[in-house]
C-alpha cells in the first residue's frame, strides 16, 4: 500500500460559502479602508443570523405567513461584492417580463442597455450551473414543476408549498433557495439573486427577485427596488394557469466596480393597498439568493 485514502471531497454548502464570503468582504473592506470597526462584528453577526435563518428554513420551510400580508419571492443566502463573473457568454440580457408592469417604470439613463452584454471580455471562469432549470433544481427543490415561464430567462417552479425562481441565460442557470408559497412579511421575501457577467467594458450587475402575489392583492400590490445608482425598478406580474400571480423584478446595470459594502444598499418598497413596507437589503446577506452557486 502507499497511503491511506481520505474520504471523498465535498463542496462548501451554499450557506457556508455565502457566510464565508460575507466575512471575507466585511473583513477585507474593513481593513482596506480602516473604516468602522463594527463591520467585522456586524459581518459575524450577519453570519450568525444567516445560519439561524437557514436552520429555520430547513426546519420549517413551509410554515404559514406570519401576520401581515406580504409578497413572495426572493430567497435566502449571502453574498458580497461583484467578483468572478458568473455567466460565460452573456450574449443576451434578462428580457423584461412580457406582462404589464405594476405601474409605470421609471426611466434611468444610467441603466445598461441590453446590448451591453453582446461583447464579453471572456476568459472568466464559469461559476454557475449549466443544466436546465429542472436539473439545477435537483438539489434545491427536487421534483419541482414549472408553474410559470415568465419570459425567456425567468421561470417559477413549485413543489408542494414551496417555490424557486429559475433564471437562465446563455446556458448558465441560477436557481434560488426555495421559499414558501405563502409569503412572509420579512426581508427574506425580497432577497435578490446576483450575477456579474462580463461585458465589453468590464462587468455588469444583474439583480433578479420574484415571488407570489398574495391572493386578492393582484391589483393593489406594487414592489419597487431602488438601486445604488438611484434607479427604481418595478416588478411586473404574470398569472399562471392555476390562477397564481407571480411578481418578478430584474435589472441590469453597471455598478461602477469597487466593493458593494461601500455603496448605498438596495431598498425595496412594497405597497399593498395603501399599506407601505420598506426593506433594506444587506449586502451579502440579502443579495445572494441563489442556491446552486455562489455570487
Partner 1 sequence: MAIGPDHGPQHGTDERDLVDALHADDPGALAALFDRYGDRIYNHCFRHLADWAEAEDATSSVFLEVWRHRRRVRLHDGSALPWLYGVATNVCRNAGRSRRRYLRAVARLPEPESAPDHAEAVADRLGSQARMRAVLAQVEALPPRERDVLGLVAWAGLSYEQAAAALDVPVGTVRSRLSRARARLTEELPDD
**Nearest partner of 263 among 246, 280, 247, judged by Cα:** 280
Stretch that binds partner 1, among 3-11, 59-67, 96-104, 244-252 (CB under 8 A): 3-11
**Contact string 62-101 vs partner 1 (x = CB under 8 A):** ------------------xxxxx-----------------
Task: Work out which of 14, 25, 183, 209 binds partner 1, going by CB under 8 A.
Answer: 25
Task: Give every strand in the sheet of 205-212, ordered side by side.
Answer: 193-195, 205-212, 245-253, 236-239
Stretch that binds partner 1, among 99-107, 122-130, 151-159, 213-221 (CB under 8 A): 122-130
Query: What are the angstrom distances between the C-alpha of 184 and each of 23, 64, 67, 74?
Result: 27, 8, 8, 11
Stretch that binds partner 1, among 1-9, 149-157, 160-168, 272-280 (CB under 8 A): 1-9
Instruction: Kindly tell me which of 12 and 275 has the beta carbon lying closer to partner 1.
Output: 12
Cell of 219: 391589483
d(CA 127, CA 166): 16
Q: Binding to partner 1 by residue 210, rule CB under 8 A? A: no
* Burial tier of 247 (Cβ tally within 10 Å: 0-12, 13-18, 19+): buried
Q: Binding to partner 1 by residue 5, rule CB under 8 A? A: yes
Q: Binding to partner 1 by residue 127, rule CB under 8 A? A: yes
Q: Total residues contacting partner 1 (rule CB under 8 A)? A: 41
Instruction: Kindly tell me which of 33 and 114 has the beta carbon lying closer to partner 1.
Output: 33
Q: Binding to partner 1 by residue 126, rule CB under 8 A? A: yes
Instruction: Report how far Cα 96 is from the mean position of its chain's Cα atoms.
Output: 16
Task: Work out which of 73, 180, 183, 294 binds partner 1, going by CB under 8 A.
Answer: 294
Count of C-beta atoms within a 10 Å radius of residue 171 = 14
Q: Find the shortest distance in angstroms from Cβ 197 to partner 1.
A: 14
Instruction: Please report, as residue ranges, which positions from 221 to 280 form the binding site for partner 1 (by CB under 8 A).
Output: 257-259, 261
**Nearest partner of 210 among 221, 201, 200, judged by Cα:** 221
238 CB-side CA count, 13 A: 17
148 CB-side CA count, 13 A: 21
Q: Binding to partner 1 by residue 34, rule CB under 8 A? A: no
> What residues does 212 pair with on adjacent strands?
246
Catalog residues that contact partner 1 under the rule CB under 8 A.
Answer: 1-12, 16-17, 19-21, 23-25, 27-29, 31-32, 80-84, 123-127, 257-259, 261, 293-294
Amino acid at each position: 500500500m502507499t497511503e491511506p485514502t481520505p474520504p471523498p471531497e465535498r463542496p462548501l454548502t451554499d450557506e457556508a460559502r455565502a457566510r464565508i464570503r460575507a466575512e471575507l468582504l466585511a473583513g477585507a473592506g474593513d481593513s482596506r479602508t480602516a473604516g468602522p470597526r463594527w463591520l467585522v462584528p456586524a459581518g459575524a453577526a450577519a453570519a450568525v443570523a444567516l445560519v439561524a435563518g437557514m436552520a429555520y428554513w430547513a426546519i420549517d420551510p413551509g410554515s404559514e405567513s406570519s401576520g401581515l400580508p406580504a409578497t413572495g419571492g426572493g430567497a435566502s443566502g449571502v453574498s458580497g461584492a461583484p467578483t468572478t463573473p458568473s455567466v460565460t457568454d452573456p450574449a443576451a440580457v434578462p428580457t423584461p417580463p412580457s406582462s404589464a408592469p405594476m405601474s409605470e417604470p421609471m426611466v434611468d439613463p444610467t441603466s445598461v442597455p441590453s446590448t451591453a452584454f453582446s461583447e464579453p471580455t471572456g476568459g472568466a471562469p464559469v461559476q454557475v450551473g449549466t443544466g436546465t432549470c429542472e436539473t439545477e433544481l435537483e438539489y434545491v427543490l427536487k421534483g419541482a414543476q414549472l408553474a410559470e415561464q415568465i419570459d425567456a430567462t425567468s421561470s417559477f417552479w413549485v413543489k408542494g408549498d414551496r417555490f424557486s425562481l429559475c433564471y437562465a441565460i446563455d446556458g448558465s442557470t441560477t436557481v434560488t433557495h426555495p421559499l414558501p408559497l405563502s409569503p412572509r412579511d420579512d426581508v427574506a421575501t425580497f432577497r435578490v439573486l446576483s450575477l456579474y457577467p462580463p461585458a465589453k467594458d468590464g462587468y455588469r450587475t444583474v439583480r433578479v427577485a420574484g415571488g407570489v402575489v398574495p391572493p386578492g392583492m393582484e391589483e393593489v400590490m406594487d414592489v419597487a427596488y431602488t438601486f445604488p445608482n438611484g434607479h427604481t425598478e418595478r416588478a411586473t406580474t404574470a398569472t399562471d394557469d392555476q390562477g397564481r400571480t407571480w411578481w418578478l423584478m430584474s435589472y441590469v446595470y453597471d455598478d461602477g466596480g469597487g466593493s458593494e459594502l461601500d455603496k448605498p444598499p438596495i431598498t425595496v418598497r412594497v405597497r399593498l393597498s395603501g399599506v407601505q413596507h420598506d426593506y433594506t437589503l444587506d449586502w451579502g446577506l440579502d443579495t445572494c439568493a441563489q442556491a446552486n452557486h455562489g455570487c
